[in-house]
Structure 1
């Protein structure tokens, strides 16, 4: 079940939410230092992090929130207007191969139709396109508290997330962790443990970020509907007499 957009907005408006956005955003920026000329899609509640890319002169930056989550306007500047929309994450209103980068935040861990959503993401990505998933780390300290959005939904271990992405036609490329102290420890402790945590116990971060590339040599996994299936007649030897078989051989000769 998706988190309500009001709860997400209120969290990121708090001091803890602002500190979270800075720390997670720093890891995102390390993985995607520039998106100049790229079409960037934020899927879920990615607006606190999409601001990082606005000065890179991207082709475009938009955010799509799941229908069950809700949406509020996102206007990074008055010239561009609102860049946020509401849609089903399993039916994105985007053309095939129209996006270069997809940032997924607060969506994968709560998705009810993970396969259909990832298949849609694969469809809209251009060849060589990449996704960056931001999810709760199963072994991290943020999954045990529902004080933050990262305490909701299904957390992932590194292996689970890699398997999920590979099964849906993506190749994991890199990963990072962040948020090494529990959210109740306070903002100062959260900041103080960031550098030691990344060096000493990286797998214990509260949030796991994983980048993956679209596998263009894979099939899209689509299964045709019953209405589109064409059944071919089958002739078995048991029901074909010797005379009929001889007639059939004669008709096949050039």
Structure 2
């Protein structure tokens, strides 16, 4: 079940939420360092991360599922957010260059259908980043943060889901090694904890990040099977039928 949008907004306004945003956004910024001329879509509750790309991308859109609710975004200027059905995106085919799923896949009723819709709206060669709770992480075990709600995923489960929906993973990473405790000393040490844990590839990260590209499958053509045709004997010349009586003049 999707979280209420007010709870998500409150979390990212807290000290713990700001720390989580900073740690996750570092990975996103490294992967998408140049969005000039590109259209970017955030699905779920991705607006805290989309803020980082303002002024870079040609177009930024934020779409939130009806079960969650929607907030106006950005706070200044024309609104670029919309309330949607996550299995029927109100977009034409192949119109988006980058899609970010945050607080979306784990709460989707039909995650495969959601990814199929993302595949539909992505341009050929377009890229998707999924930020999903890690099944083996501490953040998924505590419901005090949004990452503790919904269905967490292992890397293997995400890989299978990507393959089933015709996405090809090109990058894997993990974030939020810092315990999900809103304490000043923990938050102060968060960057150091994150750096050391990532270098040592320690288990127990809070979220798994996967970047994947849209695969285009060409329909397999029907094979031309050469069959050995039987040798045919020359056809007999048909005999002329007799001329009907009275059809011509008699020769004297």
TM interval, shorter chain, is 0.7 to 0.9
The yes-or-no answer on 1:90 pairing with 2:87 is yes
Q: Which residue pairs with 1:189 in the alignment? A: 189
Are 1:136 and 2:133 an aligned pair? yes
Closer/same/farther in 2, CA of residues 181 and 218 from structure 1, 3 Å limit: farther
Distance 1:190 1:178 in 2: 11
Coordinate RMSD, CA, aligned: 1.4
Match of 1:52 in 2: 52
Q: Deviations over 1:48-91 (max 9, x none)?
A: 000111121x220000000111001012542xx11111010001
3-state DSSP class of the match of 1:192? helix
SS in 2 for 1:70: coil
The TM-score, its normalising length taken from structure 2, stands at 0.82
How far is the alpha carbon of 1:207 from its aligned partner?
Answer: 1.0
- Report the Cα distance in structure 1 between the residues aligned to 2:62 and 2:25, rounded to whole angstroms: 16
Q: Residues 203 and 211 (structure 1 numbering): CA distance in 2 closer, same or farther, change over 3 Å?
A: farther
**Other-structure match for 1:9:** 9
* 1:177-217 Cα distance to aligned partner (Å, 9 max, x none): 11112112631232320100111134431111100011111
Q: Which residue of 2 aligns with 1:70?
A: 69
In structure 2, the partner of 1:174 is 171
- Does the Cα contact within 8 Å between 1:74 and 1:83 map onto a contact in 2? yes
In structure 2, distance between residues paired with 1:27 and 1:203: 18
Equivalent residues in 2 for 1:1-254 (5 A)? Answer: 1-56=1-56, 58-75=57-74, 77-78=76-77, 81-184=78-181, 186-217=186-217
Higher helix share: 1
Q: Secondary structure at the match of 1:49?
A: helix
Structure 1 window deviating more from structure 2 (196-205 vs 173-182): it is 196-205
Question: Which residue in 1 is equivalent to 2:235?
Answer: none
- DSSP-derived class of the 1:101 partner: strand
Could you say what secondary structure the match of 1:204 adopts? coil
Over 3 Å off, 4+ runs: none
What residue in structure 2 maps to residue 250 of structure 1? none
C-alpha contact 1:183 1:190 (8 A) present in aligned 2: no
1:118 deviates by 1.1
SS of alignment partner, residue 164 of structure 1: helix
Provide structure 2 residue ranges, at least 5 long, that are not aligned to the other structure. Answer: 220-252
